[in-house]
Amino acid sequence: MTPKIKQSKLLTYIVSIFAITLWGMSYIWTDKLISKGIPIFYFVFVRIFIAGAVLFLFNAAYGRIKRIQKQDLPKFLLLAMCEPFIYFIFETYGLKETGSPTLSAMVIATIPIFSIGAGVLFFKEKVNAVNIFGILLSLAGIIMVAMSKGELGEHFIIGILFLLIAVIAEVGHASLTKSLSGNYSSQIIVMYQFLIGSVYLLPLFLFRGLSEFDAVTYLSAEVWYPIICLSVLCSSLAFSLWVSTIKSLGVAKSSIFSALIPVAAALIAWVLGHEVMNARQWAGIAISTIGVIMSQYTVSKKKVSD
């Protein structure tokens, strides 16, 4: 592997870690909105619409707007359906219905397992035994970090089903993103993804998100600060970075980073003083890190001399 390729890989890993760190923060900002009683369909729609608008202005300012090619329109429509529409709705309600961060994190952490199959079947990605063992090791570490004392919600079985639907939607999102990344830049893909997704979410926003609208609460700085953070940092920026990760690493290998979001969330909560980390969780972080390194291992081909 040449120094230039190594540098490119290192940059990809840094970008991936930065993206999942932002998504780890999103749990804290989302929790603040839910704790204030803000309807899910209100802040999810506003988040997605602002994210799409920010990327549109950014791309327009730099003259990067590219129209969707006719043959790619169905892919973009399905991409936006997978995420943000299906994923955000079912993940949020899944977390709410299970009533258990432990159980929810364990279900979401199965994304790499489904992604391996998608990567191998649809994109002929190569995954060796070391990669598979690394993914399983990382999942074990994630479970150790995510495990906490939590009570199951009354409808936790429905919550699990919601979370599984979210996982499948995320795998579909990654697969469609991979297929589009050859013709469109990261910012363009995410821009259309969010703008189309906001159209899908608009009816739910109008009929459910605004059903108990209170201007004093809904338009307050305490509500809009986390929404802006979610829109600009966790959606516009993080998703743009994530598309470049999928393009570089592929569906299977990039998915292991997304599965580390619960670990990132736990670390951020610890740094901010919201959670106390015990020895088991620190051990889980170490195991997950080793698993990620192994999941990215590529067997180098030896040159055969004549």
- pLDDT at position 232 is 94
Task: Give, in degrees to the nearest 5, the angle at Cα 238 between 233 and 244.
Answer: 150
Write out pLDDT tens, residues 235-281.
999 988 888 888 888 876 777 777 677 677 777 877 877 667 778 87
How many Å apart are CA 104 and CA 91, to the nearest integer?
Answer: 9
- pLDDT at position 291 is 78
Q: How confident is the model at residue 100 (pLDDT cuts 50, 70, 90)?
A: low
Across the chain, mean pLDDT equals 81
How many Å apart are CA 188 and CA 197, to the nearest integer?
Answer: 14
How many Å apart are CA 99 and CA 113, to the nearest integer?
Answer: 24
Question: For residue 162, what are its two tokens?
Answer: 């919601």
What average pLDDT does this structure show over 195-200? 96
Rounded to two decimals, what is the model's pTM? 0.77
Write out pLDDT tens, residues 35-72.
888 998 999 999 999 999 999 999 999 898 999 999 99
How many Å apart are CA 16 and CA 186, to the nearest integer?
Answer: 14
- pLDDT at position 174 is 84
Reply yes or no on whether the pLDDT at 148 is more than 60. Answer: no
Q: How confident is the model at residue 304 (pLDDT cuts 50, 70, 90)?
A: very low
* Better-scored residue on pLDDT, 80 or 96: 80
Write out pLDDT tens, residues 101-141.
545 666 666 676 666 667 777 767 777 788 788 878 877 87
Nearest to 260 by CA among 286, 234, 233, 228: 286
